[in-house]
Amino acid sequence: MVCGDTVLWKGAETTPLVSVATTKIVADVLERNKLPGAIATLCCGGADVGKAMAADSRLKLLSFTGSTHIGQQVGVEVQKRFGKHLLELGGNNALIVADDADLNMVVQATLFACVGTAGQRCTTTRRLILHKNVHDEVLGRLKKAYGQVLNRIGDALESNTLIGPLHSQQSLNKYKDTIEEIKKEGGTIEFGGKVLDKPGYFVEPTIVTGLKHDHPLVHNECFAPIVYILKTENVKEAICWNNEVPQGLSSSIFTQNLGNIFEWIGPKGSDCGIVNVNIPTSGAEIGGAFGGEKATGGGRESGSDAWKQYMRRSTITINHSKDLPLAQGIKFE
């Protein structure tokens, strides 16, 4: 809207009341500023509505936030009509801990990034890559920190709550299936792994060890509060593991070594769209472009130049003289 565009948007089919409430708030702001509320219009529905939007040539730009699987289908459909798309898809975000890291910061950052929003942020930390020299200490301290938040799982409207529920029964089923697969594949549940016996889709935040860095489960985003702990020999190896997953959204390293930092942010470092140092993977600086590379889709929101994606680009040349300059210096006598 800042760029002068009207907006037709579709929220998740599982949260229609949130979509309606949001649209009413936006419409009220527009109308109080003497603009039609319908500048931002809501269309509720399921996958059929999304497919129709992707195929409709009247929608010059289609912005999609969701899974990599669905985002790939959306991108192909929009490209068929030579439309523009902005894709904000999955992430399999890693947090690397070097052997010189401030471990007090590491534990706080990891706890927040792994369990916040019950592990349902696109920037949630999914993989914690620990240098072998600090692996055991970080794991022990992290398990203790997890234990201290178990009694703060509950209704997100209550002030004491830190961890709310999973989104749906489908999310709960995926969490349970993943836990069973982890056990079947020889992984160790260091903490959590259980569904809470209370109304709602509440689960324990879970720490997993014992799976290799390239195991299919580690490379898959469950979108639940499950983090895989990996032990690495050095930062260079950790960077390779960070980059080996299909997604490329957010990444982080904790270190005090400038050499590590410049290797991390350099051309052979993290291949993600968000590259952090001594802050966790979750959240984002509002002044910076938000988005990722590879299977995350390549789209960018926020930041200094994200608005350009919502504009039509034209190169305009105006001749103010009575002469006609032609390319390659051609002249007609």
Q: Does an H or E element contain 294, and which?
A: strand 293-294
Measure the CA–CA gap between 290 and 205, rounded to whole angstroms: 26
**In the chain, count of helices (H) and strands (E)?**
8, 13
Are the C-beta atoms of residues 239 and 263 closer than 8 Å to each other? Answer: yes
Return all residues near 52 (Cβ < 8 A) that are at least 6 apart.
Answer: none
Q: Does an H or E element contain 191, and which?
A: strand 188-191
Task: Report the length, in residues, of the chain.
Answer: 333
Within 36-84, residue ranges assigned H as helices are: 47-55, 68-80
| φ and ψ at residue 45, rounded to 5 degrees | 155, -170
CA separation (Å) from 13 to 7, 119, 180, 191, 200? 18, 20, 28, 33, 19
Q: Residue 91 is encoded by which pair of tokens?
A: 């992430």
185 included as an active-site residue: no
Give the number of other CB atoms < 10 A from CB of residue 285. 12
Closest to 231 measured CA to CA, from 204, 205, 213 = 213
CA separation (Å) from 79 to 54, 62, 90, 300? 9, 10, 20, 18
Q: Which of 13, 31, 88, 244 is catalytic?
A: 88
Go through 81-93 and write b for each residue having 16 or more CB atoms within 10 A of its CB, e for each that does not: eebebbbbbbbbb
Instruction: Give the residue numbers annotated as catalytic, written as ranges.
Output: 88
